[in-house]
Amino acid sequence: NSTGSCLYEVAYGDGSYTVGDFATETLTLGDSAPVSNVAIGCGHDNEGLFVGAAGLLALGGGPLSFPSQISATSFSYCLVDRDSPSSSTLQFGDAEQPAVTAPLLRSPRTNTFYYVGLSGISVGGQALSIPSSAFAMDDAGSGGVIVDSGTAVTRLQSGAYAALREAFVQGTQSLPRASGISLFDTCYDLAGRQSVQVPAVALRFEGGGELKLPAKNYLIPVDGAGTYCLAFAGTSGAVSIIGNVQQQGVRVSFDTAKNTVGFTTDKC
């Protein structure tokens, strides 16, 4: 512009956006050595769901993400349970071998998102009858499944979600139902109950890996009155998303050199 500075504008899928000056800065993480000349956006107009955040750390696969700028080919994070007083952690560089690995896929349409080779879902130990096309990415880069720390609830293609919901409802017939809330259509009135039995839910990946989700990662409280809902939802969009409710308490690692996504429970 007329003052010699570069402007940037970034918009996000939820409608949030940030506009400001594009600059370079020296950043320091923990006790590590400072990293100079990191390109950042100095936001002057930040609108949307940024309330309470000091900023955004870009972890995607594009050239301006933080891992790309510091030439980190691997990083991992672990999001603690939503009711935990502890802090979540973020680690750059090689970590221990994850318990479950899956193929890391890339779309020719965008280099930002990390796509994972999801092959199926099981409920109560039984694989759901879901066509592979529900999770597949075509040659043009449409479809597929991404792992996203910025999306709360896992979104599945409508047919895949319907199969999951039906199997879960079949396994919870003894529990009293409640009305749906917001995007959740499968809810239960668990007021006064100390514990309940629900079907196990697991994500199955290409290569044979399986991530068994703790029940608190898919049956979540939605009010203070004892209403719990199945924390999955359908989507009419082409892309399915593994969200952060399903990731809580799991160390999620990305290795762009080995093209793998890793999952290890209880490693925060």
For position 188, which CATH number holds? 2.40.70.10
The verdict on residue 68 lying in a domain is no
Where residue 82 falls among pLDDT bands split at 50, 70, 90?
confident
CA dihedral 14, 16, 22, 25 (to 10 degrees): -80
Looking at the fold, whether 83 and 24 belong to one and the same domain comes out as no
Q: What is the pLDDT of residue 116?
A: 98
pLDDT digits (tens, 9 = 90+) for 144-187: 999 999 889 999 999 999 999 999 999 999 999 999 999 999 99
Name the phi and psi angles at 170, rounded to 5.
-60, -35
Looking at the fold, whether 48 and 85 belong to one and the same domain comes out as no
The verdict on residue 63 lying in a domain is no
Cα–Cα distances in Å, from 267 out to 32, 135, 248?
22, 27, 10
* Burial letters 204-219, b for 16+ CB under 10 A, else e: bbeeebebebbebbbb
The verdict on residue 64 lying in a domain is no
Q: What is the pLDDT of residue 61?
A: 94
Residue 91 near residue 75, CB atoms below 8 Å: yes
The verdict on residue 62 lying in a domain is no
Look at residue 240 and tell me whether its pLDDT is greater than 90.
yes
Task: Please state the domain count of the chain.
Answer: 2
Looking at the fold, whether 131 and 96 belong to one and the same domain comes out as yes
Element (H, E) at 24: strand 17-27
Q: What number is the average pLDDT over the span 20-41? A: 91
The verdict on residue 67 lying in a domain is no
The verdict on residue 69 lying in a domain is no
Q: What number is the average pLDDT over the span 71-79? A: 94
The verdict on residue 112 lying in a domain is yes
Looking at the fold, whether 46 and 82 belong to one and the same domain comes out as no
Looking at the fold, whether 99 and 232 belong to one and the same domain comes out as yes
Where residue 41 falls among pLDDT bands split at 50, 70, 90?
very high
Please give the residue range of the domain that contains residue 256: 74-265
Looking at the fold, whether 39 and 156 belong to one and the same domain comes out as no
The verdict on residue 196 lying in a domain is yes
Looking at the fold, whether 125 and 159 belong to one and the same domain comes out as yes
Look at residue 207 and tell me whether its pLDDT is greater than 90.
yes
Name the phi and psi angles at 125, rounded to 5.
80, -5
**Single pTM value for the model:** 0.91
pLDDT digits (tens, 9 = 90+) for 95-120: 788 999 999 999 999 999 999 999 99
